Chain A
Amino acid sequence: MNSFALPLPDFPSFWAAGDRSVTRSALRTAVPVFETEAQSSSVSIDDVRRELRRALAVAASEASTADWDGYGAKAVSASAISHAAELLDSLPTTVPPPDISIHPDGEVGFFWTRGKRLSVAVSISPTGLVSFASLHGHRRLHGSEYLVNGLPSSLALVLRQLHSDEE
């Protein structure tokens, strides 16, 4: 079993997007979101989420100290990882999994691509600012929105442009 253990009292928002309460009852209700093992293990949802958490944890552990790339990169911060995990949890289950990386400025990056001219790059800052840039044929879109309550609507729009089957 791949498990990704985090100290619960420190960051309750990691488990439940939008829930920033720190009361004991809030912590208890937040826990089951992470306990997917109780269910039968699906390939399309549970396995994808488990692998994404593992990839985020691996990326974070590799970039947890300054100069992790040998070129003076900043260490990834705990809050950037927390916001990135929150964004992962808010992705619809129909969105293909992104590639995850840490940027030299200490932000967390997600990247989706579909063919040569369709891609979306997302950067999540320690303050929860989600910045994105998308390439859709010859159209380029970019923007930023704070991660406040689930998937930012502007990011949902560019992800739909990337993955939509509609013309």
Chain B
Amino acid sequence: MWSARLTGRPISQRCAELYLCSSQDALPQPYVAQILTRYPPVAVTRRLARAPITEALIDVRAVPLAGLSEDVFKTIPSILKSDYPLVEERRASEAQLALEPGKPLRASSRDLGLQGVWLRSQDEKEVVQFRTDGFTYSRLAPYTSWEDILPRSLRLWKTFVEVLRPEIVTRLAVRYINHLPLPDGPVELDDFIFTAPKVPQGVIGEMGPFSTRVLLAHPERKLQAIVTQSIEPGVRSKRPTLLLDIDAFKTGNVGISAESIAPHLEALREYKNMIFFGSLTESFARSFE
């Protein structure tokens, strides 16, 4: 099982040792046990019954049709009012504050016109953004399933295409924002995640809250992901929270129709899952079953 899990993964020191254990039957069991204790196993990709997802979104960036009138946005709410009855027009604005120590604050603002419409379901768990620069479908907690949100977002994308007639799609994204509760008190982060920053070699002490933002790239499939991690003080409980925000995206021309973007979204979801489960230890993932 270990070698299967490690195939195709970068060989870090941890992986190298585990690979050694899995590929050489002659290694004594106590040594194997020692290595496995030191390096907890990576979580296996599967469906989590209590997934810690606070928002799942599908995002499509598009170049709008030249000369698009603001009036087209007014037709959208009536088309979708049965599922998304709550409507909010968004105007773009720019506020400029000149902050200079010892001098009075200088403030100015200007209206940049209609940005788009935000539609919400009656329970406000679904939010759809129809913007001049694209479309975003968000599912807020409680998360349902990919099988639920993908068809919904593709149906809404078809409406976007029919009404706003974009010229080209420039970016597709699948972003999942997770809030994972950690135990209260000092913890060994390596028991929970594989991606925590490390205290520098030779430095004695504990690590406090952190925030990291990493850009990953999958060269063969031409996928990328912005992975943001941070430890936040607990709000709903005393337990601190690990924010794990994975924004998997693909740039370039991927077609415009729902049929042409769907396979790319599936690939992005798969990539997102690889990053999510590859970040967690199996025992931590188990706490969300």
- Cβ B235 vs Cβ A94 within 8 A: yes
- Cβ A1 vs Cβ B92 within 8 A: yes
- Cβ B99 vs Cβ A14 within 8 A: yes
With beta carbons under 8 angstroms apart, the residue of B96, B136, B243, B247 that contacts A5 is B96
Q: A130 at the A/B interface (Cβ < 8 Å)?
A: no
CB-defined contacts of B94 to chain A, threshold 8 Å: 2-5
- Cβ B235 vs Cβ A95 within 8 A: yes
CB-defined contacts of B140 to chain A, threshold 8 Å: 43-44
- Cβ A75 vs Cβ B104 within 8 A: yes
Cα–Cα, bound, A159→B249 (Å): 35
Cα–Cα, bound, A1→B105 (Å): 24
Considering only residues 69-110 of chain B, those with a C-beta below 8 Å from chain A are: 92-101, 103-109
Q: B241 at the A/B interface (Cβ < 8 Å)?
A: yes
CB-defined contacts of A164 to chain B, threshold 8 Å: 235-237
Binding site secondary structure of chain B: strand
With beta carbons under 8 angstroms apart, the residue of A10, A57, A58, A94 that contacts B241 is A94
Cα–Cα, bound, A132→B93 (Å): 31
Cα–Cα, bound, A159→B247 (Å): 29
CB-defined contacts of B241 to chain A, threshold 8 Å: 92, 94
Q: B182 at the A/B interface (Cβ < 8 Å)?
A: no
- Cβ A45 vs Cβ B236 within 8 A: no
Cα–Cα, bound, A3→B233 (Å): 28
- Cβ B95 vs Cβ A82 within 8 A: no
- Cβ A43 vs Cβ B97 within 8 A: no
Considering only residues 5-52 of chain A, those with a C-beta below 8 Å from chain B are: 5-7, 10-11, 14, 32, 38-45
> Which of B95, B112, B138, B241 neighbours the largest number of chain A CB atoms within 10 Å of its CB?
B95
Cα–Cα, bound, A28→B57 (Å): 29
Chain A: CB-nearest residue to B215: A38
Q: B197 at the A/B interface (Cβ < 8 Å)?
A: no
Cα–Cα, bound, A160→B237 (Å): 7
CB-defined contacts of A7 to chain B, threshold 8 Å: 98-99
Q: B209 at the A/B interface (Cβ < 8 Å)?
A: yes
CB-defined contacts of B50 to chain A, threshold 8 Å: none
CB-defined contacts of B108 to chain A, threshold 8 Å: 61
Minimal beta-carbon separation of A35 from chain B (angstroms): 11
In the complex with contacts A57-B107, A64-B106, A159-B235, A39-B247 CB distance below 8 A: yes
Minimal beta-carbon separation of A122 from chain B (angstroms): 15
Q: B38 at the A/B interface (Cβ < 8 Å)?
A: no
- Cβ A92 vs Cβ B99 within 8 A: no
- Cβ A2 vs Cβ B104 within 8 A: no
- Cβ B96 vs Cβ A60 within 8 A: no
Q: A81 at the A/B interface (Cβ < 8 Å)?
A: yes
In the complex with contacts A42-B55, A42-B177, A60-B105, A165-B95 CB distance below 8 A: no
CB-defined contacts of A6 to chain B, threshold 8 Å: 96-99
- Cβ A93 vs Cβ B99 within 8 A: no
Q: B115 at the A/B interface (Cβ < 8 Å)?
A: yes
- Cβ B175 vs Cβ A64 within 8 A: no
CB-defined contacts of A75 to chain B, threshold 8 Å: 104-105
- Cβ A160 vs Cβ B105 within 8 A: no
Cα–Cα, bound, A163→B233 (Å): 12
Cα–Cα, bound, A11→B232 (Å): 24
- Cβ A54 vs Cβ B95 within 8 A: yes
- Cβ B95 vs Cβ A58 within 8 A: yes
Cα–Cα, bound, A165→B237 (Å): 7
Q: A78 at the A/B interface (Cβ < 8 Å)?
A: yes
Selected A-B contacts with CB under 8 Å, 20 pairs: A2-B94, A3-B94, A4-B94, A6-B96, A6-B97, A32-B213, A40-B59, A41-B59, A41-B129, A44-B140, A45-B55, A57-B97, A57-B107, A60-B97, A60-B105, A61-B97, A61-B109, A78-B101, A92-B241, A93-B179
Beyond known contacts A44-B54, A61-B108, A78-B104: 11 more, CB 8 A cutoff:
A10-B98, A43-B138, A44-B140, A45-B245, A57-B97, A60-B105, A75-B104, A78-B99, A92-B235, A94-B236, A94-B241
